Chains A and B, each alone.
Chain A
Amino acid sequence: MENPLEDVATSDLTMLQAINETLHAEMARDDRVVVLGEDVARNGGVFRATEGLFEKFGEQRVVDTPISEAVIAGATVGLAIAGLVPVAEIQFLGFSYQAMHQLAGQVARLRYRTQGRFDPSITIRAPFGGGVRTPELHSDSLEAQFANMAGLKIAMPATAADAKGLLAASIREPDPVLFLEPLRGYRGIRGDVPDGEHLVPLGVARTAREGDDIVIIAWSYQVELACRAADTLRSEGLSVRVLDLRTIVPLDIEAIATAVSHCGRAVVVQESCETGGFASEVIATISDECFWDLEAPVARVSGYDVPYPVGMLEDHYVPDEARIIAAVRHTLELA
């Protein structure tokens, strides 16, 4: 597999470090960038994603807000209109519910309802996702709800390098971007991250594993699980491709069609509920684009149709490598 990072100097970073470094770099690069959210300044964020920004860029540009997600989201609209580039943090994605009328009704629609008068250069960062035994509402994968808000782009990196490249691109993007950071990836995902300028365009998927028999399509932490499943199956002689969508809006339709047409079989993995999850959109896209190339129905591996559960039940809810492997085997056995 071609390695795009071959000739570039890199550092080995966790996803959290990559995010923190990118925030530092983007604030240094563009003095219109302001960071706002709960506990982001003196405390450096509850996960330390914003560590050091307050000390370096000061209290005007790194702001601890009162606890109101509606105001955090709503104020980004005003900041953008005033000519700034807000990078807001929602402490956990589950608390974006308190901001929905601003996110869905205003942030996503600003360009449309002003017919292009304003560039909503807004980035909203939020951690999400399971596997770390958090209290209620800290883990839910809500990406499909946001994908249904026309006007909002959604980045969901799966590697440390992409966390850097996609975050930098999101901050520089003229459209609003929801940038979702998997809790399990903060310290659990690490890898080579290019030093210096590194941009990953929004809307371009990545082949995480080459393969010919079947493709697993995933985003965020599920890419990590899909790769583990592919590696396990490879040792049994199966050739499993993994496609990392990187952003679900915009969706890389061509990459999906190419991968599925090539392999003829596909499994889509998501951590959210099954009903109305983003996998449904991916499968509908496959049906539109390459139905006649399919050799078997496309399988979904999902959480179940319940709210994200309490700690003792978590492992029965979150898709794991075993469930992905079972779905791959099942799909390969079909006609």
Chain B
Amino acid sequence: MTSPSNAQLREILVDMVMARTQSGRLWNLQRQGQVGTVAPIDGHEATIVAAVHALETEHDWVAPQYREPLALRRYGPEILERFMLYSLGHPAGGHIPEPIRVLPNQISLGTQIPHAVGIAWGMTLRSEPGVALVFFGDGSSSEGDFYEAGNLAGVLNAPVVMLCVNNQWAISTPVHQQTAAESFAAKAAGFGIPGIKVDGNDAAAVYDAVDEARSRALAGKGPTLVEAVIYRLGAHTTADDPTRYVPPEDLEAARRNDPILRLRSQLEELGLWDDDAQAATEAEAMDLLDKALDAAKAMPLSPDAVLDHCFSADTQRLERQRADLLEAGQREDR
């Protein structure tokens, strides 16, 4: 197991600040009606970024839920480009190009966990090095897919890291109504695999936990369930009003434990970060986002793209529907 170097911690902080800045900008763009529903990242940065920094991007797969994309910068600029398409509601947002080992956002809770186990299993069948890291929320852990996938992973000894992002809330439902277990990590016992609980606001701790889980998996010792404990600092999404249910004093306390403030002050003490670095990173984040958004808006889209990629080739029925659709378009143009 290796702990992150100071240089790595600085890279992690850059990605964290970028993610938060871009998430805030997207929130505003949603309010202006420019993009669809946004799930803010505030409070999740250390967990997602540090976990991904413990991976080997060339070999390791990431199966996200839906809050992660802005924090996956390490996997390449295409992630942001595709996420902007996704946010606009462009179908190409679902297509993350080769050879990037990241799956698109998953909206159907928990379904990505069996997918990650399947990827991990497949990699062992093909004797490929690498692991699959799957993110899922505390709420998603209540779906059968979590238990069934964890069980299969244990039985197969699959090289998968199951990372439960416990942000205390699933929309309005608090964790104590999600489970009576003492922790999410404790559920690993039922799968016969190790479970570790870490402070998800501590980037180095998350890095260490994922790194250790990854090393175990690569050594043929199978899956690990990691629970990262954090607090959702923003709304569930732009469609949510958390003031209806989040106790203000809890939120206040959580804000004092903001993962970005923590890593910033640590790196500032080491002389590795200052206000200028912060401002420069934020400016770059905005610039990258605006450029990606402009490129996404310029991406062409024909009406009958709605029928593309359902099958590898159009069926007879789809051929007729394509003709009807184009005809309807012409009717409207007239």
Contacts and interface: CB of A to CB of B under 8 A. Distances in A.
A60 to B, nearest CB: 14
A64 B108 contact: no
A325 B173 CA distance: 45
B90 interface: yes
Interface string B318-331: 10010001001101
Contacts of B329: 316
Contacts of A98: 108-110, 143-145
B171 to A, nearest CB: 5
Interface string A233-250: 000000000000000000
A312 B310 CA distance: 17
Given A136-B107, A305-B315, A310-B89, A66 B328 contact: no
B142 A313 contact: no
Nearest to B179: A66
A133 B89 contact: yes
Given A66-B179, A275-B317, A322-B332, A307 B310 contact: yes
A307 B89 CA distance: 14
Contacts of A304: 306-307, 318, 321, 325
Q: Tell me if A's interface is mostly helix, strand, loop or mixed.
A: loop
Given A38-B171, A39-B172, A313-B91, A274 B317 contact: yes
A326 B334 CA distance: 13
A7 B318 CA distance: 50
Contacts of B86: 310
A71 B145 CA distance: 12
Interface stretch (B72-80, B125-133, B182-190, B297-305): B297-305
B36 interface: yes
Interface residues of B, number: 47
A219 B139 CA distance: 34
A57 B96 CA distance: 48
A310 B90 contact: yes
B89 A43 contact: no
Contacts of B177: 64, 66
Given A42-B172, A313-B301, A313-B306, A67 B89 contact: no
Given A39-B172, A135-B36, A309 B239 contact: no
Nearest to B315: A305
Given A67-B178, A94-B108, A309 B173 contact: no
Contacts of B318: 304-306
B178 A312 contact: no
Interface residues of A, number: 40
B315 A316 contact: no
Given A42-B172, A67-B173, A275-B317, A306 B37 contact: no
A66 B142 contact: yes
A160 B86 CA distance: 34
A95 interface: yes
B114 interface: no
A137 interface: yes
Contacts of B303: 313, 316
Given A43-B244, A69-B143, A307-B310, 16 more contacts: A38-B170, A39-B172, A42-B245, A43-B245, A64-B177, A67-B142, A67-B178, A68-B143, A94-B108, A97-B108, A304-B318, A306-B307, A316-B303, A322-B331, A323-B328, A326-B328
Interface of B: 36-37, 66, 86, 88-91, 93-94, 107-110, 139-140, 142-145, 170-173, 177-179, 239-240, 244-245, 301, 303-307, 310, 315, 317-318, 321, 325, 328-329, 331-332
26 contacts: A39-B171, A42-B244, A42-B245, A64-B177, A66-B142, A67-B139, A67-B143, A68-B143, A70-B143, A98-B108, A98-B144, A133-B36, A134-B37, A135-B36, A135-B107, A136-B108, A137-B107, A137-B108, A304-B306, A304-B318, A305-B315, A305-B317, A310-B89, A310-B90, A311-B88, A313-B91
CB-based closest 3 A-B pairs:
A311-B89, A43-B172, A66-B142
